[in-house]
Structure 1
Amino acid sequence: PGHALKLRRALAALAGSVAGGIGGLFLTGGETARAVLDACGVTGLSLHREVEPGVPLATALGRHGFGVVTKAGAFGDERTMLHCRQALLDLRQAPVFP
């Protein structure tokens, strides 16, 4: 806990420095997600669907559009992260204009 703020800031700075090349983000923890998205210049999220209950899939709005999945830490099973990864991959391959 004593290093959480320092780690969150470092992660946000790293993500912000490569925001133009991000294909998708899986983020846990509200403060971490907010810091990373802010550093990437995200101004909002466009919700698509839930990957699993309580796990939203969205597209980042702002200078760089990429898929975003956010998840609180206290639920899910051993397949949840795999489902999130697949949802992000599927979003990248989806046609822009259906």
Structure 2
Amino acid sequence: MFGLIEVTMNKSRQQAHFRKRVAIVLFVLAALIVIASMFGISSPNTETAKTSMEAAGRKTGFYLVPALFALVGWFFYSSAQSKALEAESIETSSATKT
């Protein structure tokens, strides 16, 4: 029985670490996009847009992508924290049973 608890605890820890790594990658991507736009390395190319709606869509997409990366990264980070707490509670409950 304790082997199953240990496997579940290890699986929860692995999932927490993976989710945390995904969150860090998404945060770094969002930061790189923001830094690139701040220094003018990358900017929305609206000069080739045929209509004003197309230009507005390009600008919206350009500024929405880092926000979306940050939002999804935050979701993964909070999910990683809950998984880590789950692994800790499994470890605590198995320690009290022994």
Interval containing the TM-score (normalised by the shorter chain): under 0.3
| TM score, norm. by length of structure 1 | 0.26
Higher RCO, 1 or 2 (CA under 8 Å, sep at least 6)?
A: 2
Which of structures 1 and 2 has the bigger CA Rg?
A: 2
From the two aligned structures, give the one with the greater strand fraction: 1
TM-score, with normalisation over the residues of structure 2? 0.26
